């Protein structure tokens, strides 16, 4: 592997703890990575006056990928979410969220699926107009964004050997916008050799619990993807088990799907698995499929041997868990 440049952004809350844990694993794999640490977020704004310093953006521009922890966005501040800014800036239009139950002792439901969430428009345009009566939100669904996210999902199905693709929408209520997304979906999946399904988002939320085997690859709009992926992560063990990648055509940022969890920050009890699995997705993106697979295998082996953190009934603190996992890497 040629040397790849990776920017590490711990951010706020448990972000720095889970990113350091993932980096300890990466350092013990046979990969050639050069890390640059960069700052971002609420704590950074208190130190530097900026949520997103210029030096951080420059480091990101020079790198091949980024591993991101989490950033707190206080609701009383004008600042928009840093990760939303980065997704837009780098046009990271696909949010990939694999959801897999890694062991029968963890979670409630046997899921092995990937959610491909449109990442640039939908409900998250951030364009809100106030008038004397209230607020109107611009919810955008475009043909171009719909087409490229469905294409990305089809490509993913092919590369991962997934056979069924489900479009999750709410076109019965949002006839024009979700209707457009649905129409593009059916155009793009035609003749791709996949089993094609569609589901209303409310029905999908129930089916994830009742008929988990129905799901393989889901492609959906921004808000729906955000909500059902947290639900799906909860079903396979909690937010500590939800990795994600924000992927565009030229750049990608990988992050756990949980937030900064300030309630448990600094206590050495956060579950770093979501970030470790996100770093595995990053390795895969950088062309290191074999090394990426070792991370998941070590985590599975750990769960078999009761090596787990406290959020899932284990006894290991974050740092203890990480060191135990490094030892397991020799076996996988």
Task: Please give the residue ranges that form the binding site for ligand ATP (CB under 6 A).
Answer: 14, 18, 70, 72, 239-240, 258-264, 270-271, 274, 311
Nearer to ligand ATP, 212 or 240 (CB): 240
Q: How far is the CB of 304 from ligand ATP (least distance, A)?
A: 20
Q: Are 196 and 93 in contact (CB under 8 A)?
A: no
Q: What is the dihedral of CA 102, 95, 196, 223, to 10 degrees?
A: 100
Minimal CB distance to ligand ATP: which residue? 259
Helix, strand, coil % in the chain, rounded to nearest 5: 45, 20, 35
Nearer to ligand ATP, 116 or 274 (CB): 274
For tokens 């006894």, name the residue.
Answer: 315
Q: Are 309 and 261 in contact (CB under 8 A)?
A: no
Q: How many CB atoms lie within 10 A of CB 104?
A: 9
Q: How far is CA 330 from CA 275, 326, 327, in A?
A: 20, 8, 6
Q: How far is the CB of 190 from ligand ATP (least distance, A)?
A: 38
Q: How far is the CB of 12 from ligand ATP (least distance, A)?
A: 7
Q: How many CB atoms lie within 10 A of CB 238?
A: 18
Q: How far is the CB of 324 from ligand ATP (least distance, A)?
A: 16
End-to-end CA distance of the chain: 20
Nearer to ligand ATP, 150 or 307 (CB): 307
Nearer to ligand ATP, 128 or 263 (CB): 263
Nearer to ligand ATP, 181 or 241 (CB): 241
Crossing angle of helices 289-304 and 318-328, in 10° steps, is: 110
d(CA 117, CA 327): 35
Q: How far is the CB of 84 from ligand ATP (least distance, A)?
A: 12
Active-site annotation, residues: 124, 170, 202, 226, 230
């Amino acid at each position: 592997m040629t040397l790849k440049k990776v920017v590490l952004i711990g951010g706020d809350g448990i972000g720095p703890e889970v990113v350091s844990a993932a980096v300890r694993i990466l350092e013990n794999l046979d990969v050639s990575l050069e890390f640059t640490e960069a700052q971002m977020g609420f704590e950074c704004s208190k130190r530097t006056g900026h949520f997103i310093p210029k030096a951080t953006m420059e480091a990101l521009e020079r790198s091949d990928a980024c591993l991101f922890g989490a950033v707190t966005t206080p609701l009383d501040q004008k600042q928009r979410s840093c990760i939303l800014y980065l997704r837009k800036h780098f046009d990271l239009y696909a949010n990939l969220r694999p959801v897999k139950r890694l062991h029968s002792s963890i979670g409630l439901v046997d899921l092995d699926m990937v959610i491909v969430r449109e990442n640039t428009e939908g409900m998250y345009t951030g364009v809100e107009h106030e008038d004397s009566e209230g607020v109107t939100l611009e919810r955008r669904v475009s043909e171009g964004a719909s087409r490229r996210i469905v294409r990305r999902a089809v490509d993913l199905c092919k590369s991962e050997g997934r056979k069924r693709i489900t479009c999750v929408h709410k076109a019965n209520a949002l006839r024009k916008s979700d209707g457009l997304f649905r129409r593009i979906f059916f155009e793009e999946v035609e003749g791709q050799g996949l089993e094609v399904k569609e589901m209303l988002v409310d029905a999908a939320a129930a089916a994830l619990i009742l008929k988990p085997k129905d799901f393989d690859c889901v492609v959906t709009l921004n808000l729906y993807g955000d909500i059902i992926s947290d639900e799906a992560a909860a079903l396979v063990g909690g937010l500590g088990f939800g990795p994600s990648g924000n992927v565009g055509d030229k750049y990608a940022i990988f992050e756990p799907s949980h937030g900064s969890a300030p309630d448990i920050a600094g206590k050495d009890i956060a579950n770093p698995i979501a970030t470790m699995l996100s770093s595995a997705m990053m390795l895969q993106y950088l062309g290191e499929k074999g090394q990426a697979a070792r991370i998941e295998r070590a985590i599975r082996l750990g769960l078999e041997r009761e090596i787990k953190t406290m959020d899932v009934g284990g006894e290991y603190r974050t740092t203890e868990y990480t060191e135990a996992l490094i030892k397991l890497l020799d076996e996988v």
